Chain A
């Protein structure tokens, strides 16, 4: 009696594994690849024919030592690997009373204040906190606007031109009330290269 149930269970599991574990993902993959290849393959973005990343996956615009490259808009701090490692998505998981987190926030604030030449109280929260995935592709409009003067100076562009570009790239809330307004850093930086003469 008990053995009969087990034998039924084994057969049911094997058949369902073929249907749900092989058939279903393959059908969805086929539909995705045929009907929606751009999204199904990661929303990759090309510059001059070469893939430079994905609009959905944030990237680092710092040098090897982690110092911000002044000619690029900067992404948020990242806890994925050594920063924006797309093979190791992760948040910091530091708790609100953890002294390491307070120290990290204070040092990021000092670095940004120095880089942008602004007072600490003007720095938005997302600029000094690590995102959940470590791959957040976006920053708040406030953080993007904070970086305008420095980027313009580094690129020998007029600040109002860069500011206008940033404003044109602010993405509003979905349907007007879902999520928060953001600026996609990779798309902004790609648009920035087109401003260069």
Chain B
């Protein structure tokens, strides 16, 4: 046991050291990308083709309309590709997907959720995988970062009517950050054994004389951006547990680092853009503390191995791969659920009650520790506004953050932000059991495990969808009209409602002038503020979700 503890510490230390080393250059680079006045030649050509003036900034409503228009046409294209996939090249002889599945999958990939109601290897051909899904892996990530940068500009700009140009942010994020990094990573992944070909299934005769149908596909190119963009949608059903997606312990560590790289560097970008890197460090310290505590708790739960079946087997190895072991699985699961990636290298449905519960808690924190690319930093900045407001209430001062007054409008927008996602989760879960015909379908068709664990499967699904995570208690049969539709709506609202509030907030902050720091200003870069921010994140989510957690994983764990 103590040897295991040292392995856990060594692996966590690796993550910390690598992230501490890379967050500066990567964060600084991203800040430079989004603030540079210069366009690359290829970008200028692109702007001409799409009819955009790169130098002109947008007001927040115009920025929002661009985000929504771009996402809407993205959803339509992914939907259409699935519905006509039989005529596309490399369809592998697969038929078009059903209307409700195409609806769900289109929303899922455009909202950076990558929830998968389907089994990819028997559902989607390569044309849909690359032209639909790989593309949205990039673009949904670039949209997330763009919105985050717009909010950062809100803090940095003075008396400004604009918050940047969405098309420029989208283009630069894609071409200067995500595409070059993904290309390098994809090739590194191939060296580890991740496949990259355009072969279909190949039948081989195994050593014992059976036939095995070996899959192919352009996997590495999608795997790289799946992790780097905190997307999470697997090329194969088993996702990062599949040896062709994640062949070795070192690729596993690399995949964990890829998920964390951008979310943990964006606080540095934030610090650079607002002109005070200490502010970014405080945000990163908050994220890291929550992440480390959560990862330790899940690892403890899985190593302890409570539960009837787990005890009988002797260890929590059901749904885990031997090459990763328990620690390699819990570090991945914590990372994936805490970054809104939703990739899995082990089956969360088979985790111990409390271990699986921690995966849910990570999402219920609102995906801020460190959260998805872009969405993590804008999420925690909204919570920081609430934290400053709470501190202001205690001492009776008008709250201010980074020189911006937080008046009624800002606090209303921040409150709407933190209420939106939990409302979707709880209403969606409740409706699944409250509407009689739906309940009949949910309990007989969809739920896989009996008892309270079955309730946890439904709660997990809505938590994952509304927080745009995408992981699942995968026993749940989600490819039904109810879940495809309800989870599709949950993903859409869970993505775009917060974006509306964030951009409105960015607009109202940008319009203000900066007020000078005085002796009475609450410092927001010290450990005291980090503590306050952690407390706010935990209290807000605990008050919201404790009752429903008590009905699911806690009830099961106490059996």
A residues adjacent to B (C-beta < 8 A): 2, 4-13, 15-17, 19-22, 24-25, 27-29, 31-33, 35-36, 39-44, 47, 50-54, 56-62, 69, 72, 76, 80, 84-99, 101-102, 105-106, 109, 123-126, 128-140, 173-175, 177-180, 182, 186, 189-190, 193
Contact = CB atoms under 8 A, between A and B. Distances in A.
Given A39-B191, A101-B309, A133 B216 contact: no
Given A17-B77, A17-B131, A106-B312, A137 B243 contact: yes
A59 B207 contact: yes
A81 to B, nearest CB: 9
A39 B11 contact: no
Contacts of A106: 312
Given A6-B73, A98-B453, A102-B312, A178 B253 contact: yes
Given A25-B221, A105-B313, A177 B308 contact: no
B50 A12 contact: yes
B235 to A, nearest CB: 10
Given A28-B187, A40-B196, A179-B324, A13 B179 contact: no
A180 B167 contact: no
B210 interface: yes
Interface string B385-420: 000000000000000000000000000000000000
A129 B187 contact: no
B252 A178 contact: yes
Interface string B319-347: 11111110011000000000000001111
B207 A21 contact: no
Contacts of A123: 314
A25 B328 CA distance: 29
Contact of A96 (B197, B207, B353): B353
20 contacts: A5-B69, A9-B72, A15-B46, A40-B190, A50-B205, A51-B204, A56-B193, A57-B214, A88-B237, A91-B318, A93-B475, A94-B309, A95-B556, A96-B307, A97-B449, A125-B313, A129-B320, A131-B320, A139-B322, A173-B7
Given A17-B77, A24-B183, A43-B193, A29 B321 contact: no
Given A11-B50, A84-B212, A102 B323 contact: no
B546 interface: no
A4 B51 contact: yes
A95 B323 contact: no
Interface residues of B, number: 116
Given A24-B182, A32-B190, A133-B242, A95 B449 contact: yes
A67 to B, nearest CB: 12
A133 B221 contact: no
Contacts of A32: 187, 190, 196-197, 220
Contacts of A19: 179
Contacts of B249: 173-174, 178-180
Interface in B227-248: 236-238, 241-244, 247-248
Nearest to A46: B204
A195 to B, nearest CB: 14
Contact of B51 (A7, A21, A25, A129): A7
Given A21-B132, A87-B215, A140-B322, A174 B248 contact: yes
Nearest to A121: B314
B7 A177 contact: yes
A9 B66 contact: yes
